[in-house]
Amino acid sequence: MAYIIHLRNLFILLRFVDTMNDVLVYGVPLDPDERESVVRLKHDQRARASLPHPDPYTALSRSFSFKHQLLGNVPVESWLTPLPSEEELFMSTVENYVAFIDSDGCWEYTQAIKAGMGELVGDNRSLMIAVDHSVAAAPIMHACELHGKDDVGVVMFDSHFDGILPSYRCGLIQYDIDTNPQSHFDPDDPFVVNRPESFNADSFLYRLIDDGHIAPENVMIVGVSDYPSKKTEQIRDERIQRFLSFYHHYEGMGVTILPKERLRANKRLFDPSSLDCSRIHVSVDIDVGSRNAIYGARFIDYKGLSTAEIEAHMQRIRESKKEIVSADISEIDVWKAGFKHHGKKDATYAVAKRIGNMLFG
């Protein structure tokens, strides 16, 4: 409740600002990352002291060259941010982040943000700089309510397909534990089994579609690296078959999924003008370029698109003449972004800046 009150006060303060058609840029530093390695890093005093930016919005907000207005970060409880305060650092535990996710905390934050977006951005164009990709659902739902879901498309760049419910993901993990001697999953980890079907960064598309917030035929996922391989399709294990059926049912509903390798074989597959709508929300999970020029994404388990490929796809959006009503750039990891990797400085912030400028410049 305190969070919602603070958020409402922020909206009341901002609604009197004369935007004059500027793009409104705001941040959402929600970061309930439950991985033990991330939690340890948040407690590392040396790492905390040397961190150049507390969140992605702070790092990027003054980088954009298009006409914009900065609104600041929406309030997030400190323990749920990338850099928890010393006062709330004790809350930063694997168990607490798991409890937050499993109790639909990401959905509560998303609903609170969306509820205030009429006052925060109104019908102005907007750019959200977020950590957890799930909160992208707030501007997406706002755009669909404002303009009608049949006239708003969602063009999402992501190495992962974010419509997978936890029970299906847990099934894959259990299969890997059972069949792979080199599995990096711990069979004794209590958090890789029996997770509730929560709204989170891995599943938020499911609720957007299943609850009717967006039209599936207007959704296009670009650069996916986790699309099931032919080898996976041939596995007869019930857990794998259940996952495959769930994954492919999105395509049956009309969602366009463009795997990275297919895109490279035929760049014309990505055609945003083919969407039967005049407006779009562009959602960029920065991991779509992971392990190329980008090492500052929260998850870098796949090698994604090159910077040149990403820019070419942004250019295709511009050429499509679709009206970009809103966008988000998500999943930037401030603990990795901008640092050196393999002797080269990470380009995450530079690529994110370029994406924003290409979309709204």
Mean pLDDT of 312-325: 97
Between 5-19, 102-116, 130-144, 293-307, the lowest mean confidence (pLDDT) is in 5-19
Pick 19 or 184 by higher pLDDT.
Answer: 184
Mean pLDDT of 312-320: 97
pLDDT at residue 319 is higher than 90? yes
pLDDT at residue 14 is higher than 90? no
Specify whether the backbone of 130 is left (phi greater than 0), alpha (psi in -120 to 50) or beta.
Answer: beta
Beta carbons within 8 Å of 127's beta carbon, 6+ residues apart:
23, 24, 25, 26, 64, 68, 326, 327, 328, 329, 356, 359, 360
Spell out the SS3 assignment of 192-203.
Answer: HCCCCCCCCCCC
Res 342: pLDDT: 82
For 129-177, what is each residue's pLDDT tens digit? 999 999 999 999 999 999 999 999 999 999 999 999 999 999 999 999 9
How many C-alpha atoms does 203 have within 13 Å on its Cβ side?
23
For 181-198, what is each residue's pLDDT tens digit? 999 888 888 888 899 999
Res 3: pLDDT: 47
Res 10: pLDDT: 53
Mean pLDDT of 98-109: 98
Res 5: pLDDT: 44
Band (4; pLDDT cuts 50, 70, 90): very low
Res 13: pLDDT: 46
Q: Give the C-alpha separation, 306 to 300, whole Å.
A: 14
List, in order of start, the domains of the chain with CATH numbers: 2-360 (3.40.800.10)
Show the tokens assigned to 253: 């509903």
Mean pLDDT of 235-257: 97
Q: Give the C-alpha separation, 203 to 187, whole Å.
A: 23
Mean pLDDT of 12-21: 54
pLDDT at residue 1 is higher than 50? no
Pick 2 or 121 by higher pLDDT.
Answer: 121
pLDDT at residue 81 is higher than 50? yes
pTM given for the model: 0.94
pLDDT at residue 221 is higher than 80? yes
Of 164, 162, 102, 91, the C-alpha closest to 130 is 162
